[in-house]
A and B are shown apart, each in its own frame.
Chain A
């Protein structure tokens, strides 16, 4: 182990030295080319301003000035590509090109001019590179840092890309979690649930058949049957909590109608969703209503509730209203935070209006494309 570190450092120093020497050449060449072009351009402009002798000269200066103006961004892009591939080859540094490179021409031009002066300075120090590893490393690091900020995409572009990547990866995650829930639902339905129905049915038959057996036997069978029925009910609730099959088979309206019917208080339901949202968004809508109704039952002391699902353009709006005593505050173990998180997972929002004395209105707005 002890021997590896100096070796590693040597390798790094060697790479830095290589990079600095290569940078010296490319920097000098590129910088001089650009500087030359700029000088010619400046001279043409100055000559134009001074009033050239004859229109032929004026035309020539003007053509040169315009030509260079067009040429420079093109040369800059070429040089930037060259410098990026140099950094990749010598340091293994990956510097992404900006999506709209022309907008970053100024920054890139600055890098190439800096590289020229660094190259000129570096040329004086060339004899020192082999004996001054620190110097080579410093030059290399500075070079890389400059290249990253001047040759790469700008801060705004980087952030925009990052946001896009994050949004996409989060949407993928939500969709994957959703698909996984559906898979587990199907597995449980095809496996454990069928078996449990069969078991409960068999115990039920035994219960009917052995009615003339002694009391303890009958009791044991009855207890087992009751237990199996209870397990079946619990499993059904659990599966429904994972992913309600009715949602994939028949859509949001049917699934919400089931929720409203099962609620232990009267629920008025209004669904006006002419175009279905994506399965992921519909699942979020379903679970928001499910949890909101559970909350109403648990906390609001309401006598009735109303659920509305409407779609306006690209927004699916869910409202759950109850006539309870209000005063619901997120973050007090009421499950309201969970609702907000579910909405946020699909870029939606959730608001709660719950003045003391009620009524409480929970509104979720979920964006859905097309």
Chain B
């Protein structure tokens, strides 16, 4: 799998390259700013881009803007955005373009190498990887809507779905039986008025509803 990295700190750029290479990925180019990122993506057409949000010249949201451009121009490139802090408008901007092949993680998560590499694989495979803090923050703003109909446990399950976990992943995280998870997921679909189509599609719709986008 071919990856492009955009990160302005030399130290972290090199570290990320090394970690992803060790993890079995091919880092085709690592660049220090958004302009070069767009150029590199156009040139290499990678499977995934790992993008730092804060990059020169203003050190605010260059990375998000670049990510949105990539999503529109190269929809096949999966995006994993790393941020210094959780900003829900960044996350909703990203997710408004598409709910698949996208990730938004706090930068510190790169220290948890195994989890981080899992997230990279998940996003590259078309899934999502949202930082638990992002999800918590989205939940703060969405307390008044249909989500109120969900029990706390069902909300917890939906939250994990939004983070990009499969049923098996949810079973493992919550330490409950697979049949219990199935039941929660079905209840969520019913309570959110989602039509009975294929499970995967309803899953995406549930997460979309949850994110309010």
Contact = CB atoms under 8 A, between A and B. Distances in A.
Chain B interface residue bracket vs A: 20 to 34
A258 to B, nearest CB: 6
Given A258-B86, A266-B143, A228 B111 contact: yes
A293 interface: no
B114 A261 contact: no
A201 B108 CA distance: 9
A228 B112 CA distance: 11
Contacts, number: 89
B15 A201 contact: yes
A244 B87 CA distance: 12
Interface in B47-101: 60-61, 84-89
Contacts of B111: 197, 200-201, 203-204, 225, 228-229, 232
A253 to B, nearest CB: 9
Contacts of A194: 9, 11-12
Given A246-B85, A249-B60, A268 B133 contact: no
Interface string B114-157: 10000000000000000001001101110100000000000000
Contact of B136 (A236, A254, A262, A268): A262
A312 to B, nearest CB: 23
A254 B89 contact: yes
Contact of B108 (A195, A203, A236): A236
Given A197-B107, A232-B108, A249-B61, A204 B113 contact: yes
B11 A244 contact: no
Contacts of B139: 261
Given A228-B111, A249-B60, A261 B11 contact: no
A244 B84 CA distance: 10
Contacts of B108: 197, 200, 229, 232-233, 236
A78 B113 CA distance: 82
A257 B140 contact: yes
Nearest to B14: A198
A198 B15 contact: yes
Contacts of A266: 143
A84 interface: no
B110 interface: yes
Given A201-B113, A208-B114, A260 B88 contact: no
In this complex, the member of A204, A208, A228, A268 whose beta carbon has the largest number of chain B beta carbons within 10 angstroms is A204
B192 interface: no
B22 interface: yes
B61 A261 contact: no
A11 interface: no
B44 interface: no
Interface residues of A, number: 37
Contacts of B140: 257, 260-261, 267-269
B42 to A, nearest CB: 28
A201 B22 CA distance: 12
Interface of A: 189-190, 194-195, 197-198, 200-205, 207-209, 225, 228-229, 232-233, 236, 240, 244-246, 249-250, 254, 257-258, 260-262, 266-269
28 contacts: A189-B84, A194-B12, A195-B11, A197-B12, A197-B110, A198-B11, A200-B111, A201-B110, A201-B111, A202-B15, A205-B19, A205-B113, A207-B113, A228-B111, A229-B112, A232-B108, A233-B108, A246-B87, A249-B87, A250-B87, A254-B88, A258-B85, A260-B140, A261-B136, A261-B140, A262-B136, A267-B140, A268-B143
Given A200-B111, A261-B86, 15 more contacts: A190-B9, A194-B12, A197-B107, A200-B108, A200-B110, A201-B12, A204-B114, A208-B113, A232-B111, A240-B85, A249-B87, A250-B87, A257-B140, A261-B140, A268-B143
Interface of B: 9, 11-12, 15-16, 18-19, 22, 60-61, 84-89, 107-108, 110-114, 133, 136-137, 139-141, 143
